[in-house]
Structure formats: structure tokens, C-alpha cells
Structure 1
Amino acid sequence: MLTGSDPSPPSAEALAALLEWYRDAGVDMAIDEIAIDRFAAPAAAAPVVAPVPAEAMPAARPALPQFATSVPGATPTIGVAEAEAARIAAASAETLDALREALARFEGCPLRLTARSLVFADGNPNARIMLVGEAPGREEDLQGVPFVGRSGQLLDRMLAAIGLGRQDVYIANVVPWRPPGNRTPTPEETAICRPFIRRQIELVDPDVLICLGGAAAKELLDTREGILRLRGQWLGYDTGRRQIRAMATLHPAYLLRQPLQKRLVWRDLLALKAALPQETH
């Protein structure tokens, strides 16, 4: 029976569980509890606002990079200036540390303005195996390290299944900044980051390159093939010094949604183990 009194407030444990559920769902901002129909609301007269003295005005925010306008239906293009700046910055880096610094200074990608961290890499830069995903998620953005959330924990177990750990591999992403709300990076954002991930692969110069997911595979292996058709096949990748073996497999995030597909990844892992240099076994 309703008494008209307010219900008891939720416990701290319940609130923490709710926040964790929101986090896993990709929610990273608050909205009003009551929906507002902006189309039905009557137009209100614009309020009269007193002029603000110039000395009280906040400093202007840096302008976002302007991307070139693309024809509807065509592949979006990036600005020539930004593309050239990315190419020069990446090519000038002679070491991985220098490449990280170049990315930290690079202002041509708008994602750096919304992300908390530059998520550059993790693992062993001298490893013979390099893994590349698409872009960081929330946990990766918070910690500045790739694959540390639920997908990363599954990736660790996948590697452990064939006797490998993070000390045996080098891990990076095509896009090193988290897109807002964990959305998919736009073609412009991926294109502007392309010189950096390719230079990163050149500097690591691994024996084996593993693309985690279809987005990374399409970017690095120059293919339009779907990931379920492409996965498990040995292809070639030119590091700039030599051709190395490359394979695409399913992304750990996909496996969290489709656990039955782990059987396919197990086959890919066994193929990877068989292809490894003897000293990494």
C-alpha cells in the first residue's frame, strides 16, 4: 500500500552496479530524466542579455581542424594540410619514443580534443608479434594503455592459451585516441592516423602482424573482405623493410557478444603458434 512517503534511497552497492552497467553499455554522459519535445515547445522570446565586458570573456578555444568537403556518397577526404602534416610527423620519427612524442604534439586529429589520453602501445617493443586493434575504449582512455578493459582481459586469456603474455607481444591501435561514446572512428579520423600506425609497425618490424577485427584488417591489409571470410588466412604486409606474415582474426569485443565464435579464434591462435619463431614458443 502506498503511503505517499519517499522510497528509501538506493544503496551504495546498487548505485555502483548501475554505474558499472552504464559504463559497459558505453554511456559516458548524463541526460535529463524527462524527455522534452523541442518541436512541440512554443518558441520563447530570446532573453535580453547584458553585454559582457571584453576582459571578462573566456579565452577562445582552439579551432578544430577543417576537413575537406566530400561529395555525397563518395569516400570522405581529409584536408591536404593535415594529411601532409601527419605524413611528415610520422616519417620523421626514428624511434618509437619519438613517434609517441610526435603523436602527442600532433593537432590534426579532432579526437585528441575529446579523449583523456593518448593510447600509444603496450607490451614488448622488441617482440616478434604485433597485434593491432581499431581504437581505444573507455578503460583504455582512462589508463592510457590499449586492451585493458573486458576485451583486453579476454585478449590476455587468448594469448595465455598458446603460452604467450603481454611481454611476448606488442599491442597498438589504428587510431590512438578514443572516439566519443566508443563510436566507430570516421574515415577521416582513420585516414589522418594512418601514417602513424604504419610507421609504428615499421619501427617494431615484427615477424608476425595480427589484425584484431575487420576494421584493422581493412586498414592494414588493404582488403574489403568481411572479417569472417578473411580471418585465419596468412597474407603479406610490407613493413617498409621486408614482407612479413599477417593474419586477421576476430576482435575480442566481438567474442564477448558472440562467444560461440571463439572456436574460430582458437583455430587462428593455433595457426599463430605454429608460425611463431622457435624462440617465442
Structure 2
Amino acid sequence: MDRDALLAALSLQIEWGADEALAEAPVDRFAAPPAPAPVSPARPAVARPAAAPIPLAPVPAAAARLAADAKDLNALKAAIAAADSPLRETATNLVFSDGNVTSGLMLVGEAPGADEDRQGKPFVGVSGQLLDRMFASIGLKRESDFYLTNILPWRPPGNRTPTDAEIALFLPFVLRHIELADPRHVVLLGGVSAKTLLRAKDGITRLRGRWHQLPPEHGGRPALATLHPAYLLRSPHAKRDAWGDLVLLKRTLDGRVAPS
């Protein structure tokens, strides 16, 4: 890892509250070194066939028409507000987007939480604050360097996981949102976003850490799956993996790694 990446890694650890360099388990400095493990003969790598994309729940025709007719982001927001969904009746505010739409980098999360519902903006609660610190550690600011939205524009009651029917209803709007924002790269935050837009069966821990291509019907853009900040708050041990994803993103944006 180069000097800039090491300094950024240290900055992120400080932001996450690390103040000591400790291993996860004590080390006996007086113990004899362990015997080397036997080396097994290398086996030739076998390429796995690409998994078939998972089928999606039927998309309501009315939602597909509303999304297709939206000619710009303002029209798309109005179309989402007009879409018939029970979530609209239990939420306070429609949560559409935040950040710089011309940045070329678009982040897609799952659904608004309570703070987002109150303010009408994505990622403004505790997990959003963590997300901002994470991206600041690689030199990216919400105001100038990335753009944010969610699969669902309305908060599900109790912050529950979106249902397949809810995802299907709002998928045409998400895809149209990506098309209108026209990012060069997409980051998928969490399992719902990654599995929906990649049409993948695997969970986020298997999808993260590498670049994918959105399916042609989803725009075909380079997409990096990573862990949702809310998950990192519950599972601090996973922050190492999230940091690796951020380094990969930064190296790609800097042109040092191709998104393949």
C-alpha cells in the first residue's frame, strides 16, 4: 500500500475511535514459533460460470410508465411522490437525494431511517455521519464529490427491511434516477441495494470488495458493492473490509485500477 493510502487508513482509524495499537489476542513473545504448515500441491484454478441473474418481482406497469415519462430529476421526484404506495401514508417526508449530482459518483443505499424521514434527505442520521467520515478519509465530500439516493424513497415502518413488492414498485424510479444522474461509477451500500441492482443471489459479504457491472437492463455501469454504514455500527469488526473497499474505490477514481 502506498504512503497516501496508509495515511488515509490511519486517518480513518482515528475517526473510528482507535487510540491504541492492540492485537485482538495477547501474544506470548517467549513461546517457540509454530511449525510451518505443510504445503499442499497447487491445484489449477477452475473458472466458475457466471451465475444467472435472479428473477425480479413483477414491476407495476403504472410505476414503470411514471418513471419512463420523467425527463429530469425534478419530474422524477414528482413521479415518485405520485406513485401509489402504502409507505407514503406512514412516512413523513419523501427522501429523494443529496450531494452533487454532477460528481460522477453515485451511492445507492437501502431505505431512509427515522432521521432521514424527518429531514427528507438520505444518510443524515448516525450511519450517514459515519458514511461521511468514511468517504472523507479518502478525500471525498458529500457536497462536491458524490451523490446519494436509496432504493426506497419512503421510510418503512420501524425501519424494517423492504419487501420484494416494495422494491419492485420503486425499482423503475431507481433505474431512471441512475440514468438521469449519469454517474461514471456506482457504489451499492448494503445487501438490499447490491442484490437488487446486480440481480445477485449472493449476500453482501460475497459481493463486496470488487467491481461488478450493472446488468444491461440496469444501465451496465461499473458498480462497487460494500457494507452499509448501519451494519458497520452494529459490527465494528467489519470496518477493515469496508476500508479495503474504500481504498479500491479511491484507486479506481484516481485511475490506478480499472473497474473490472
Which TM-score tier does this pair reach, normalised by the shorter chain? Answer: 0.7 to 0.9
Residue aligned with 1:109, SS: coil
Q: Aligned pair in 2 of structure 1 residues 250, 143: CA closer, same or farther (>3 Å)?
A: same
What does residue range 1-281 of structure 1 map to in structure 2 within 5 Å? 83-106=60-83, 108-166=84-142, 167-237=144-214, 243-276=220-253
Deviates more, 1:241-250 or 1:220-229: 241-250
After TM superposition, the score normalised by the length of structure 2 is 0.73
Identity of aligned residues (%): 55
TM-score, normalised by the number of residues in structure 1: 0.68
Change in CA separation of 1:105 and 1:241 when aligned onto 2, cut-off 3 Å: closer
- Contact in 1 for aligned 2:213/2:220 (Cα 8 Å): yes
Change (3 A) 1:126 1:153: same
When the two chains are superposed, the root-mean-square deviation of aligned CA atoms in Å is 1.9
Deviation string, structure 1 residues 148-201 (Cα, Å, up to 9, x no partner): 000000000011010000021010000000001111111111110110001000
Amino acid at match of 1:145: K
Distance 2:109 2:218 in 1: 22
Instruction: Using CA pairs under 8 Å that are at least 6 residues apart, name the structure with larger relative contact order, 1 or 2.
Output: 2
Structure 2 counterpart of 1:34: none
Residue aligned with 1:142, SS: helix
The secondary structure found in structure 1 opposite 2:214 is strand
Does structure 1 conserve the Cα–Cα contact (< 8 Å) formed by 2:190 and 2:225? yes
Q: Distance in 2 between matches of 1:87 and 1:277?
A: 36
**How many residues are paired up?**
200
Secondary structure of the corresponding residue to residue 220 of structure 1: helix
Question: 1:237, CA displacement in angstroms?
Answer: 1.7
User: Cα 1:214–1:77, aligned 2, differ >3 Å: closer, same or farther?
Assistant: closer
1:219 is matched by which residue type in structure 2? T
Mapped partners of 1:238, 1:186: distance in 2: 22
Runs of 5+ unmatched residues, structure 2: 1-54, 256-260
Partner of 1:4: none
Which structure has the larger Rg?
1
